[in-house]
């Protein structure tokens, strides 16, 4: 009897220890994969999904985010520009704009593709404002919904001031600098007249760059453009009257126009980029209403990577 109990005990502890080891290995692998997916900084792997049965292809590129970085749009335009099977590109814009430099980089890549002879038809969604509109100016033709919010031609920079908060909680900052403007925008002190003049010059210079692009691409006299380029948004219908867009229509209209300009017979096939995501990326990003995804987007947009100088429509 005692020997039977002893054997049972050994079996129990053997199975228990085995399960613990398996669980620890699984948890270790899980954390390793999660760490790799979180800390990876290189480009993801991408695949290209084709819908439709047409023999000739139109690529769709979606600019549907606040502009913080240009890499994804630049990569797609370069690929589609070099791909001879792609006869035209539809750029779907649904963005309030964002960083000045990133907007300019996207615009240059769109313009380069247009100038290479490959048509780029721009389709506006709910909003295509400021930097989003800047990028669109590089296209061959702009199609806007009548109710799209667009325009917002202007530049903005915001600087938080934590001086009073710092004084209340006893936080002080000592600055050692090489010139009087080196710490301009420091949130722990009020801006002085030199700071304001300095930043206003930068804003004005960036604004003139915006005006130059719109005036050249839309063939609008610069001084006439200045009258409407005061930061305000317009509906698509108003933008058509002001010559900021070429025609009114939907995304499907933009696809049809792209096919006509590219001289595609019949219905084209549509090509889109799709990222390959691992299990943990699906867990964090792929679930609708996922609080982790919402926190990540909020941090990226408003705090971690927010550009100081922006072509952006601010509500």
Which pLDDT does position 115 carry in this prediction?
98
Given this model, what pLDDT does residue 93 score? 98
Summarize the confidence of residues 287-297 as an average pLDDT.
54
pLDDT at position 153, please? 97
130 as an active site residue: the answer is: yes
Q: What is the pLDDT of residue 42?
A: 43
- Quote the pLDDT of residue 304: 46
Active-site residue, selected from the candidate residues 130, 140, 144, 152: 130
| Residue 240 confidence (pLDDT) | 98
pLDDT over 60 at 186, yes or no: yes
Rounded Cα gap, residues 172 and 288, in angstroms: 42
Q: Report pLDDT digits (tens) over 37-93.
A: 443 434 456 777 888 777 899 999 999 999 999 999 999 999 999 999 999 999 999
At 105 the pLDDT is: 98
- Note the CATH number of domain 46-312: 3.90.226.10
Strand, helix or coil for residue 311? strand
Read off the pLDDT of each residue in 267-289 and give the average, rounded to a whole number.
68
Give percent of the chain with pLDDT exceeding 90. 60
Contact 105, 134 (CB under 8 A): no
Q: Is the pLDDT of residue 17 over 70?
A: no
**What is the model's pLDDT at position 311?**
79
Residue entry with tokens 């610069």:
222
pLDDT, residue 277, reads: 62
Question: Has residue 36 got a pLDDT over 80?
Answer: no
Over range 184-204, report the average pLDDT: 93
Domain ranges of the chain: 46-312
* Gap between the Cα atoms of 94 and 210, Å rounded: 19
Residue of 78, 182, 247, 275 marked active site? 182
Which of 92 and 8 is assigned the larger pLDDT? 92
Asked if 92 and 258 count as a contact pair (C-beta separation under 8 A), the reply is no
Pairs from 299-305 (Cβ < 8 Å, separation ≥ 24): 300/68, 301/66, 301/68, 305/68, 305/69
Q: Lowest-pLDDT range, 12-26, 32-46, 84-98, 178-192?
A: 32-46
Contact 67, 131 (CB under 8 A): yes
Instruction: Give Cβ neighbours of residue 239 (< 8 Å, ≥ 6 apart).
Output: 144, 148, 150, 151, 245
Beta bridge partners of 151: 129, 233
Question: Which of the two residues, 150 and 265, has the higher pLDDT score?
Answer: 150
How does the average pLDDT of the chain come out, rounded? 84
Say yes or no to pLDDT of 206 above 60: yes
| pLDDT at residue 262 is higher than 60 | yes
**213-251 confidence digits (pLDDT tens):** 999 999 999 999 999 999 999 999 999 999 999 999 999
* Tally of CA atoms within 13 A in the half-sphere of 189 that contains its CB: 14
């Amino acid at each position: 009897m005692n020997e039977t109990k002893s054997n049972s005990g050994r079996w129990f502890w053997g199975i228990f220890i085995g399960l613990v080891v398996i669980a620890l290995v699984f948890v270790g692998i899980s954390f390793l994969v999660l760490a790799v997916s979180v800390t990876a900084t290189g480009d993801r792997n991408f695949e290209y999904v084709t819908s439709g049965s047409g023999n000739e292809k139109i690529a769709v590129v979606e600019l549907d985010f606040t502009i913080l970085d240009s890499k994804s749009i630049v990569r797609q335009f370069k690929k589609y520009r070099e791909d001879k099977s792609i006869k035209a590109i539809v750029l779907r814009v649904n963005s309030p704009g964002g960083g000045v430099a990133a907007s300019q980089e996207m615009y240059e890549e769109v313009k380069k593709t247009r100038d290479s002879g490959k048509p780029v038809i721009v389709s506006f969604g709910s909003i295509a404002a400021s930097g989003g509109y800047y990028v669109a100016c590089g296209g061959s033709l702009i199609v806007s919904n009548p109710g799209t919010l667009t325009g917002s031609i202007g530049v903005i920079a915001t600087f938080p001031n934590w001086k009073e908060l710092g004084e209340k909680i006893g936080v002080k900052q000592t600055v050692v600098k090489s010139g009087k403007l080196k710490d301009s925008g420091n949130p722990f002190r009020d801006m002085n007249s030199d700071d304001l003049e300095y930043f206003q010059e930068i804003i004005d210079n960036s604004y003139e760059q915006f005006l130059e692009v719109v005036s050249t691409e839309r063939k609008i006299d610069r001084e006439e453009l200045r009258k409407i380029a005061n930061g305000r948004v317009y509906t698509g219908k108003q933008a058509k009257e002001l010559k900021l867009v070429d025609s009114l229509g939907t995304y499907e209209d933009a696809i049809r126009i792209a096919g006509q300009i590219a001289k595609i017979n019949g219905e084209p096939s549509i090509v889109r980029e799709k990222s390959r995501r691992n299990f943990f990326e699906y867990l964090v990003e792929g679930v609708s209403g996922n609080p982790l995804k919402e926190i990540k987007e909020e941090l990226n947009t408003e705090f971690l990577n927010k550009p100081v100088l922006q072509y952006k429509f601010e509500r």
